[in-house]
Structures are given as structure tokens and as C-alpha cells.
Amino acid sequence: VVVHLAARNNDRPGTLAEFKAANVDHLLQIADAARRQGAARFINLSSSHALGADARDSYGVSKREGARKLTAAWPEGAINLY
């Protein structure tokens, strides 16, 4: 089991592309590496802020996209917790 806690959050400014690089691209790269090394589960943690459809800031948008793509890429092993 791998527990993923890393994220780019709103503590520092950045573009949507920078948030997506951390919260989508890097998330998927780490999950892929975990799966290739034999992890049965990958738990991706996020704040409840990312749950709100009205959270249109770069953090919320990128975290929701990352969670959707993680689930699509690894439906039997990925778990998103908020």
C-alpha cells in the first residue's frame, strides 16, 4: 500500500499548468511507479476543499482532475480520500 500526501496547494501562487504538473502529472507518475513495483493499493489524500464543484481555483481544479485520472488509470487499486 502506498499513501500519497504530496500536493501543490494554495500556500504559494502558480499557474494552472504548474498545479496540474504537481497534482495530476506527478500523481500519475508516482502511482504508475508504485503499481510497477507491486503495490496493490494507492491511497491519494486530498483536502475536502477539492471536493467542492465551486472550488474553481487551481488547487481544487487540479486535485479533482488528478483524482479522476488516477481512478481511470488504476480502477482496481486507486483510492481517493478527502
Query: DSSP string spanning 20-32?
Result: HIIIIIIHHHHHH
In the chain (82 residues long), the average pLDDT of successive 10-residue segments reads 93 94 98 98 92 84 96 97 91
| Predicted local distance difference test score (pLDDT) of residue 66 | 97
Q: What pLDDT was estimated at residue 63?
A: 94
Question: Cα torsion at 40, 44, 45, 48 (round to 10°)?
Answer: -130
Say whether 13 sits in a helix, a strand or coil.
coil
The confidence score (pLDDT) of residue 25 equals 98
- Distance between CA atoms of residues 60 and 82, nearest Å: 12
pLDDT score for 52 = 77
Confidence (pLDDT) at 69: 98
Whole-model pTM? 0.91
